[in-house]
């Protein structure tokens, strides 16, 4: 898409993420094969087909337009809101919001604000449950830093015990819009957002949030 004369990052989206198509094709073949062997056997791959379609659902969202608000990068439950020292991108004191995604949540990740992707980094790691407090330090993790005229933010994708693969569609130099889909984590995970301390956080631990819709903070530009 284009905005103000600049070319913005865009990936063609479908109601079910294209990352599911390979699994769905295999399951469709198994359903046909199972039907010819024993019709009742189609139940097993059929249930898996429905689950994969549900897990990789990719709904449209109405994105808030206020340029000073930040939206949630993921669907899920807010695990904690803490002041931490972030040393990968912000290099200073920041506020971290951690969001846990169960297998029942939409797993598409979205950009919390418009801007330019200025930092990308992938770190291999372990696969301990994403809801554990130390999962962020040990698990496989992908970092994406975005900046605009107001601030810089860092979003991370963290794998879990069930999640085994991080998918990220953006690269350094891409320009993104608020709420733009930028990746997903397969089968349960955690997403984090690190923001400067001048951001007023508007959610609390235990809140349920929706990616691209729920406002998690507002920039104080004074």
Burial category of 130 from C-beta neighbours within 10 Å (exposed 0-12, middle 13-18, buried 19 and up): buried
Instruction: Name the average pLDDT for the chain.
Output: 90
Closest CA to 203 of 96, 101, 111: 96
Sign of the CA dihedral with 5 first, then 7, 12, and 15 last: negative
Convert the pLDDT of each residue in 56-75 to its tens digit: 999 999 999 999 999 999 99
Separation CA 97–CA 144 (nearest Å) = 15
The pLDDT assigned to 81 comes to 97
Which of 163 and 118 is assigned the larger pLDDT? 118
Task: Give the domain ranges of the chain.
Answer: 18-55, 62-219
pLDDT in tens, 188-210: 688 999 999 999 999 999 999 99
CA–CA distance, 196 with 154 (Å, rounded to integer): 10
Spell out the CATH class of 62-219: mainly beta
Catalytic residues: 189
**pLDDT of 76 over the 50 cut:** yes
pTM recorded for the entire structure: 0.88
In the structure encoding, which two tokens stand for residue 53, read together? 């379609």
Q: In this predicted model, what pLDDT tens digit does every residue of 5-64 receive, in sequence order?
A: 566 777 788 999 999 999 999 999 999 999 999 999 999 999 999 999 999 999 999 999
């Amino acid at each position: 898409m284009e905005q103000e004369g600049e070319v913005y990052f865009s990936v063609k989206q479908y109601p079910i993420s294209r990352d599911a198509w390979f699994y769905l094709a295999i399951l469709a073949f198994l359903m046909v094969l199972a039907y010819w062997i024993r019709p009742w056997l189609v139940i097993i791959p059929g249930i898996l087909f429905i689950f994969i379609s549900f897990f990789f659902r990719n709904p449209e969202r109405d994105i808030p337009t206020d340029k000073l608000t930040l939206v949630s990068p993921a669907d899920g439950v807010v695990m904690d809101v803490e002041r931490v020292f972030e040393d990968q991108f912000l290099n200073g004191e920041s506020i971290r919001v951690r969001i846990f995604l169960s297998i029942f949540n939409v797993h598409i990740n979205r950009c919390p604000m418009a801007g330019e992707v200025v930092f990308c980094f992938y770190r291999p790691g372990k696969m301990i449950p994403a809801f554990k407090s130390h999962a962020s330090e040990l698990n496989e993790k992908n970092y994406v830093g975005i900046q605009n005229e107001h601030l810089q933010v860092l979003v991370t994708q963290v794998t879990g015990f069930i999640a085994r693969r991080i998918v990220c569609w953006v690269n350094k130099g891409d320009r993104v819009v608020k709420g733009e889909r930028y990746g997903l984590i397969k089968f349960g995970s955690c997403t984090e957002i690190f923001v400067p301390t001048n951001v007023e956080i508007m959610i609390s631990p235990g809140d349920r949030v929706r990616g691209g819709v729920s406002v998690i903070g507002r920039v104080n530009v004074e």
